[in-house]
Amino acid sequence: MNTEEMKRQFDLLKNITRYSETADLSVDLSQIEDIIFDKLPKEIKKNAPPNFPELYFEFKQEYERFKTFILYDKLIAKNVVALGGGFSSGKSTFLNSMMDCEILPSDITPSTSVPAYLIYGDKEEVYAINTFESKIAMQTEDVMLLSHGFGRNESSEQEITLGHLLSNMFISTPNQRFKNLVMLDTPGYSKAETVGYSAKTDEKIARTQLNSANFILWFVQADEGTVKDSDIEFIKTLHETIPKLIIVNKADHIMLDELDIVVEKIKDTLNMKGIKYIDVLTYSSEFPEDYQRDEIIEYLEKWNNSVFQSRFAYNFKVIFTKCREYYDERLDEEKKTHSRLQHILADVSLDSDDARDYLNYMDTSAKRNIAELKDMKANLKELQDKFFTEIKEIADRVNIEMPEPSEIDLIQDKIYDPKTVLDEYCDKYGLNSQSNINLRRNHADTISNLFKDIKPVFNNTSGTVNYQSVMIDEMEQLLQIGEIHLNDDLKYHDDVIRTTLGGN
């Protein structure tokens, strides 16, 4: 290594370890962090759901992603396509191949992998966030050097890897041609007990990265023969509403007739396990034109042209929703206990004063628990409103889409496919004869196809009154112009539409 190269590498090391007293943020986050790291755990830990540690971890990870968007504002208002799968399933190589250039390092270890956001830009530029939350500018060639070759010289093949010093990387390049999409290359996932486990590939972190995305590409290696059980378990923990396209990668590693069998086996396994997916497509970075590169690009183009959907509010709301549901369950139990005890005390003759005293004690305890749970629900609602008021103010300053605090309760926890709701409606009203089953299947497929491209978005918003109104108007218009012809026996009319969409 010559002197000039040594100096360049030293400058890189000095750059990526830069520390500043305050993070490179354009807004003050102290008040929102007081709510997240102090008030929220104090309030909820008094009577927390059993899975609160997991909920709180995911909540904090979502906040870290929110900060990432502030630190690199080119991510704002773009849909995120996250690449998921086991470590070394070929995600980085896939992106390099799709962009026809070598930007991302591929042969890396779990400890040196860094989540990388690829975004369209007129010119190439690279930024990273280090472990001190400092935003640093880098050269394109530095990306490879972080994982391979740093510190290597003629007398020694030993090298130092620096990926562990960075939390995120942002690469802007004209080679990422989808101007409205951000491609997120995640390090993949691994369990704590597996060989080569790293905090960078911890399955909890991988889950939050994928659940924050708008679309997911899930990678399966062709020579594995099918989707692994560990993949199945992991995918089941991802939000069902996020569209998932399965990529059978490294397809050139097996024969074409075998590949067809693998694809069908993957589909059968996913269907049997109840996992929703868009399609299963094949790819090879070595011979992309020989497989389904064009079909994959078609999906990416479709997503690139879709309306932006912000997931921050939905993901932030989860912890409040789950805690409220837990309080409601506890309240229901305590109210039933109180009712039973009141019935016993009123209608049953008790000869023993001790028995009556004990029942009165239990009843008093139940009433006290009911009052405490009601207070907790009220306090949680107040804290939720404070949180969303503060996060809304911050989001407005940096142009991140966030609903008003008053709209948060209108965000549905699930977005239902019209076909699913129509099936439920037919079951509810006993429309289950063979003729009606065939009829409902035909109409359900028709409705699903007609509305498959309508995407719920904020303000017009996922699960809000605005979105509901838009969908109702759209469905009514289709009915009026005769695009859907429904049998009278199905009783499909305006009220059903409103019921389908949660209207009054």
**Rounded CA gap, 149 and 166, in Å?**
17
- Does 384 have pLDDT greater than 70? yes
Domain extents in the chain: 3-304, 312-383, 418-500
**Rounded CA gap, 354 and 52, in Å?**
39
| CATH 1.20.1510.10 applies to domain 3-304 | no
What are 314-327's pLDDT values in tens digits?
Answer: 999 999 999 999 99
Kindly tell me the sign of the dihedral angle through the C-alpha atoms of 443, 444, 449, 452.
positive
What are 151-180's pLDDT values in tens digits?
Answer: 455 555 555 667 678 889 999 999 999 999
**Rounded CA gap, 183 and 161, in Å?**
24
Beta strand 215-221 with 244-249: parallel, antiparallel or unpaired? parallel
Length of the chain: 504
In angstroms, the Cα distances linking 249 to 97, 214, 275 are 12, 21, 19
Instruction: Give the per-residue SS3 of 428-458.
Output: HCCCCCHHHHHHHHHHHHHHHHHHCCCCCCC
* Lowest model confidence (mean pLDDT) among 78-82, 220-224, 248-252, 492-496: 492-496
Neighbours of 251 (CB within 10 A): 26
Contact yes or no for 271/305 (Cβ under 8 A)? no
pLDDT bucket at 276, cuts 50 / 70 / 90? very high
The residue with greater pLDDT, 228 or 18, is 228
Q: What is the mean pLDDT of residues 365-384?
A: 94
What one-character DSSP code corresponds to residue 292?
A: T
**Rounded CA gap, 409 and 397, in Å?**
23
